[in-house]
Amino acid sequence: MADMLQFDLVSPERKLASGKARAVQIPGADGDLTAMPDHTPTITTLRPGVLVVEGATGEERFVVTGGFAEISPEATTVLAERAFPAAGAEARTALQAILDEMRTKAGAASGAEKDALDKTADDLAKAIEGL
């Protein structure tokens, strides 16, 4: 069994991280999961939350607002709608603006769309609190 896997985190704006990792904790839409070397191939959607990468030099944390993760035995690639390093006030300010926008959209929606937006906004609010 290999002790590291290739990890890449990409958002539409840029590649945020790339390198070797021991484990990647992913906020999956169906629950949190941890990708490790030799993981069963999996594709999952992301919910807003904190993604934690355990690398050779320590732990890195990123906030993601949604997207997809593709996991294979050798690599994990996260394609995020939006992603920010979890450290610093910049991430908190940007995420609060996204949350405000989401709450506004939920206020104008109805039915299942409103429920989905409210749940996503709640997940994002929890991620912001965890920073």
What are the domain boundaries of the chain?
A: 5-85, 89-129
Q: What is the CATH number of domain 5-85?
A: 2.60.15.10
- pLDDT by position in tens, the chain (length 131): 469 999 999 999 899 999 999 999 999 988 899 999 999 999 999 988 889 999 988 999 998 888 999 999 999 999 999 888 887 776 777 778 778 888 888 888 888 888 888 888 888 788 777 76
The candidate with the shortest Cα–Cα distance to 114, out of 125, 124, 123, 103, is: 103
102: number of Cβ within 10 Å? 20
- Specify the pLDDT at position 65: 83
Q: Give the DSSP letter string of 26-53.
A: EEETTEEEEE-TTPPPEEEEE-SEEEEE
pLDDT the model gives residue 105: 83
**pLDDT score recorded for residue 126:** 80
pLDDT on residue 131: 66
Query: What is the reported pTM?
Result: 0.77
What was the pLDDT predicted at 6? Answer: 97
